[in-house]
Amino acid sequence: MRNLMKTFGLLLAALCGAMLLTAASKPAPKPAPPKANWAGMVTRTPIDSHIVGNPNAPVKLVEYISYTCPHCAHFEQESDAQLRIGFIATGKGSIEVRSYVRDGIDLTVALLTHCGPPSKFFANHSTFLRHQTTWMAPIASLTDGQKARWSSSDFATRTRAIASDLGLYALMEARGYDRPEVDRCLADKALAERLAQHTKDATEKDFVNGTPSFLLNGVPLSGTYSWDALKPQIEARLR
């Protein structure tokens, strides 16, 4: 009996040793690759627009935006969350925002949205559209002196006067910018001239005659100016 128990014990020890050896020889499972944060992927294009999302997305939306356009502000509020969750985050879609400059105020705000690295653009963009009624309110009560500053022959004087009179410095400071940085962005005449040219190109090449206007996979969407009109067209291409 003792011999039998001893033999059984030796067999059990050998079996356990073999199991441990087999387990140790198996390679550790590879961790799952991290999911791409498409909503955080922002690039600036050669035409001074900004793209958020998967650069190889099968569905590409282009938005032409004017910062003084109430319909653009309404579109931003209605569409932003839905586009980010169901369109950008999935990697199926990307959004490119292009400035459509209609006047000096538009131009001033566009310069500020471009201020800083590309990663800051979309938050700047959203800030100005979502606070549009607030910063545009002083326009109705401008003094003659303010209007004169807005007509100055010096480019930087004009844009800084507009920014000051409409409270745009405060909006930028709330976003973490200091005044010297904002002033540098407002003095970027070269960018201003390019944005004006891009606006002209949009009218001539993409048939943009109002805002917001859209291209979907390079095709202008005639008669589409709202989220209600745009949404089913995006969904059709995502199927």
Q: Count the residues in the chain.
A: 239
Distance CA 5, CA 87 (A): 68
Q: Which SS3 state, helix, strand or coil, does residue 230 take?
A: helix
DSSP state letter for 69:
-
What number does CATH give the domain 38-238? Answer: 1.10.40.110
Distance CA 168, CA 10 (A): 83
The ranges assigned to domains in the chain are: 38-238
Token duo for residue 137: 């309110």
Sequential pLDDT tens for the chain (239 residues): 445 445 444 444 444 444 444 444 556 656 544 567 898 899 999 999 999 999 899 999 999 999 999 999 999 999 999 999 989 999 999 999 999 999 999 999 999 999 999 999 999 999 999 999 999 999 999 999 999 999 999 999 999 999 999 999 999 999 999 999 999 999 999 999 999 999 999 999 999 999 999 999 999 999 999 999 999 999 999 98
Distance CA 226, CA 79 (A): 9
Distance CA 113, CA 127 (A): 9
At 8 the pLDDT is 43
As beta bridge partners, residue 104 has none
Beta-strand pair 93-99/50-53: antiparallel
Token duo for residue 123: 């938050």
Distance CA 173, CA 177 (A): 5
At 123 the pLDDT is 97
